[in-house]
């Protein structure tokens, strides 16, 4: 944990504040696998409850050169939920997500399922996922790992399905494991794309629109090192939902802009042209 970049912890604090002002009925828990890094980050103002959860699935970049260290920790959290005795619905979020609306606490129940997955959209989502298409085919539906909705039964089903995977070569992240079990029919799930959107705000790819603020949860992977740390710096001034939305508009590139979209198209065209030259 000591090597974890500070922007991840800034993202946790910003996410916690977004939940505070957008969905006051939800409880926020931060799972960590070590306790000796906590004093450097002040979460008290954002109401973060911290639980230490030892890692079982953690893989290092030494063991898997192409992996993302710690990326399988989500599976440890799922296993923890599988052991809970609760009728609650849980949402596992990446630290570059923000909650901007009140979440339906009975979403899964209303949709008749125990698991809710976010289906990735072709484009930049596929480009950065690093899924081993050569082994599973190009027509596979990719599942995102940034937002996972589950109840206790759903967590048990995921753990059982992952345990049945015998060949794990090329599976580097929790997204890869969830994609495999979802496409092999080992679990039943519903899509949560009506509630969640992965939004790209970089010049090389943009899929932003003002209507994005109607989603309940937004994932901003291109803002984890810039926009979200700026939200963290101003966290004491985010005391309401309106403050949150205004800050997101001001400190990130999540805005509908003909100019930015045109620059992005020119950037991609230039890059593709140079690639063919």
- CATH code for the domain in which residue 176 is found: 3.90.550
Looking at residue 216, its pLDDT comes to: 97
DSSP per-residue string spanning 83-110:
T------EEEE-TTEEE-S---TTHHHH
Helices and strands (DSSP H and E) totals, the chain: 10, 11
Looking at residue 35, its pLDDT comes to: 64
Q: Is residue 205 part of a domain?
A: yes
Q: Is residue 1 part of a domain?
A: no
The DSSP code for 67 is: S
User: Mapping DSSP to helix (H, G, I), strand (E, B) and coil, where does residue 49 land?
Assistant: strand
Give yes or no for a contact between 12 and 31, defined as CB atoms under 8 angstroms apart: no
Looking at residue 259, its pLDDT comes to: 47
Q: Is residue 134 part of a domain?
A: yes
| Residue 166 structural domain | 6-276
pTM for the predicted model, two decimal places? 0.86
Nearest to 232 by CA among 9, 56, 28, 3: 9
Measured between alpha carbons, how far apart are the two ends of the chain, in Å? 44
Looking at residue 37, its pLDDT comes to: 56
Cα 53 to chain center, whole Å?
19
Looking at residue 121, its pLDDT comes to: 83
Give yes or no for a contact between 151 and 158, defined as CB atoms under 8 angstroms apart: no
Looking at residue 82, its pLDDT comes to: 96
- Listed as ranges, residues in the chain with pLDDT below 70 are 1-5, 35-45, 58-69, 124, 126-128, 256-277
Domain count, the chain: 1
pLDDT tens-place string over residues 193-243: 999 999 988 877 888 888 999 999 999 999 999 999 999 999 989 999 999
């Amino acid at each position: 944990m000591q090597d974890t970049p500070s922007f991840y912890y800034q993202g946790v604090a910003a996410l916690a504040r977004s939940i505070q002002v957008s969905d006051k009925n939800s409880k926020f828990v931060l799972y960590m696998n070590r306790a000796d890094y906590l004093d450097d980050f002040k979460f008290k103002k954002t109401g973060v409850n911290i639980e230490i959860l030892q890692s079982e699935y953690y893989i290092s970049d030494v063991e898997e050169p192409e992996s993302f260290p710690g990326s399988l920790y989500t599976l440890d959290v799922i296993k923890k939920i599988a052991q809970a005795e609760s009728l609650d619905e849980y949402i596992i979020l990446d630290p570059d997500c923000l909650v901007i609306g009140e979440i339906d606490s009975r979403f899964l129940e209303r949709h008749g399922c125990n698991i809710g997955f976010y289906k990735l959209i072709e484009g930049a989502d596929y480009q950065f996922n690093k899924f081993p298409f050569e082994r599973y085919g190009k027509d596979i539906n990719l599942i995102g790992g940034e937002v996972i909705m589950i109840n206790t039964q759903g967590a048990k089903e995921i753990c059982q399905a992952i345990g049945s995977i015998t060949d794990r070569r090329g599976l580097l992240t929790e997204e890869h494991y969830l994609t495999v079990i979802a496409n092999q029919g080992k679990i039943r799930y519903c899509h949560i794309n009506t509630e969640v959107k992965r939004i790209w705000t970089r010049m090389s790819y943009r899929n932003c629109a003002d209507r994005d603020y109607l989603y309940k949860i937004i994932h901003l992977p291109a803002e984890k090192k810039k926009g979200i740390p700026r939200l963290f710096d101003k966290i004491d001034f985010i005391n309401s939902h309106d403050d949150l939305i205004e800050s997101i508009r001001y400190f990130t590139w999540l805005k509908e802009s003909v100019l930015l979209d045109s620059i992005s198209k020119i950037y991609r065209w230039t890059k593709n042209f140079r690639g063919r030259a």
